[in-house]
């Protein structure tokens, strides 16, 4: 073989390898979400003149992104298993109401004054119980999770509003003590985290205010919770048998059951996981702002589902990616917060964006599913 032939052979091999890599990437569920995220980041960076990503802009954007990411990660896993949870938003409001009422009025049955830990722990027990109840009803009755969780959406929102009005004579509770100043547990949810990032930025010559001091000292604690939940979900899906069970449950429930997968336990556990994520979301809000409102979490269930779909999760189950949800949360968070950095953008355009991107994502995900399954 001549040198020319050898070089030609190497070029052909490189071309085939490159094609194979591109084909593999094109089959990844999160590839579309990544492309949209890159476009949105670039557009907002240019339109805002960089203010969206200065120290304060980055902090504010990450706060919104983390909120989306916490609940969308839980929604993603549940959708991979072939189920929906429309009660997430109402669960956020219910959990916030429960914690603030205990902090203001004390523990139930006259058991004494509540601390941030006891208020959170008792609320978590209740929300996990509700998640278990929802999952059990879906499993035992055979009803669609869409209908069952829609019923709990109204039920939990109604209970929250009634409790606020009857016990507090208002749909809001405000003026609670700033517990994060005196309780490490409250600070875990309402304080700041990753201060080293902004410290390093300051020492590198950035993150400086007009007085020459450090401008921003850290991200909101919810960013840490989002990272922890996302990493745990990714590990479960990618590295454990439970992850295989989740995919199998959503792909073909009867086949999975025939192969020994505990389908019903998987489904119930994932409903409990969405309740857990909603409670974490609520705790971050309560301990950061020292307030609660009956309307908290409104429509968050739809945003969580939309982010999961844009991130590559199929509506039919059996296919999805936590990494795609990360990209989707970043995209939605930046667009939702864009009104604060780009005055020309009206807040209503966020809903236009969500509707358009969601519809496009559904078409792309269905096309991807057909290419992977050979059109089945």
- Would you say the C-alpha torsion 99, 103, 104, 105 has a positive or negative sign? positive
Q: How many CA atoms lie within 13 A of 292 on its CB side?
A: 31
Please give the biggest Cα pair distance in the chain.
91
User: What is the C-alpha to C-alpha distance for residues 279 and 95, in angstroms, rounded to an integer?
Assistant: 6
Q: What is the pLDDT of residue 345?
A: 73
Q: Quote the pTM value.
A: 0.89
Q: Which long-range contacts (CB under 8 A, 24 or more apart) does 359-364 make?
A: 361/32, 361/33, 361/309, 361/310, 361/312, 362/309, 362/315, 364/32
Q: How many CA atoms lie within 13 A of 288 on its CB side?
A: 18
Domain boundaries, the chain: 30-373
**Distance, C-alpha 280 to centroid of its chain:** 11
Question: How many residues are present in the chain?
Answer: 376
**Mean pLDDT for back-to-back runs of 10 residues, the chain (376 residues):** 45 46 64 86 89 92 96 97 96 95 85 91 97 97 95 96 87 89 95 94 86 90 97 95 95 93 97 98 96 90 92 86 93 87 74 82 70 56
Angle between helices 300-310 and 88-105 (to 10 degrees): 140
Angle between helices 31-47 and 349-373 (to 10 degrees): 150
Which CATH entry fits the domain spanning 30-373: 1.10.287, 1.20.1250, 1.10.238, 1.10.3470?
1.10.3470
Contact 246, 270 (CB under 8 A): yes
Q: What is the pLDDT of residue 10?
A: 46
User: What is the C-alpha to C-alpha distance for residues 185 and 61, in angstroms, rounded to an integer?
Assistant: 24
User: What is the C-alpha to C-alpha distance for residues 228 and 222, in angstroms, rounded to an integer?
Assistant: 10
Contact 74, 88 (CB under 8 A): yes
Q: How many CA atoms lie within 13 A of 361 on its CB side?
A: 31
Provide DSSP, 105-159: H-SGGG-----HHHHHHHHHHHHHHHHHHHHHHHHHH---HHHHHHHHHHHHHHH
């Amino acid at each position: 073989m001549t040198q020319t032939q050898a070089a030609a052979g190497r070029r052909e091999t490189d071309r085939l390898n490159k094609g194979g890599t591109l084909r593999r990437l094109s089959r990844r569920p999160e590839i579309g979400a990544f492309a949209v995220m890159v476009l949105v980041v670039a557009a907002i960076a240019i339109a805002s003149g960089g203010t969206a990503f200065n120290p304060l802009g980055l902090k504010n954007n990450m706060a919104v992104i983390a909120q989306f990411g916490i609940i969308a990660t839980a929604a993603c896993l549940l959708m991979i298993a072939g189920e929906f949870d429309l009660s997430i938003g109402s669960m956020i409001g219910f959990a916030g109401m429960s914690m603030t009422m205990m902090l203001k009025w004390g523990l139930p049955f006259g058991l004494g004054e509540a601390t941030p830990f006891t208020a959170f722990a008792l609320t978590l027990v209740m929300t996990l119980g509700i998640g278990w109840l929802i999952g059990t009803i879906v499993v035992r009755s055979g009803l669609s999770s869409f209908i069952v969780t829609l019923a709990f959406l109204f039920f939990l929102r109604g209970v929250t509003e009634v409790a606020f009005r009857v016990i507090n004579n208002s749909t809001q509770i405000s003026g609670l003590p700033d517990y994060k100043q005196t309780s490490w547990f409250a600070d875990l949810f309402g304080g700041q985290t990753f201060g080293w990032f902004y410290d390093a930025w300051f020492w590198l010559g950035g993150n400086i205010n007009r007085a020459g001091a450090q401008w921003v000292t850290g991200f909101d604690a919810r960013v840490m919770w989002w990272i922890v939940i996302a990493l745990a979900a990714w590990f479960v899906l990618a590295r454990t048998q439970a992850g295989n069970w989740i995919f199998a449950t959503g792909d073909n429930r009867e086949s999975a059951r025939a192969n020994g997968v505990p389908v019903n336990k998987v489904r119930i556990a994932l409903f409990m996981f969405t309740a857990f994520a909603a409670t974490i979301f609520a705790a971050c809000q309560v301990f950061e702002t020292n307030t609660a409102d009956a309307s908290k979490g409104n429509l968050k269930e739809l945003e969580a589902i939309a982010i999961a779909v844009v991130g590559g999760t199929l509506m039919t189950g059996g296919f999805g990616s936590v990494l795609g949800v990360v990209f989707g949360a970043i995209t939605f968070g930046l667009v939702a917060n864009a009104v604060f950095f780009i005055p020309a953008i009206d807040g209503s355009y966020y809903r236009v964006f969500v509707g358009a991107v969601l519809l496009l994502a559904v078409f792309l995900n269905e096309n991807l599913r057909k290419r992977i399954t050979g059109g089945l």
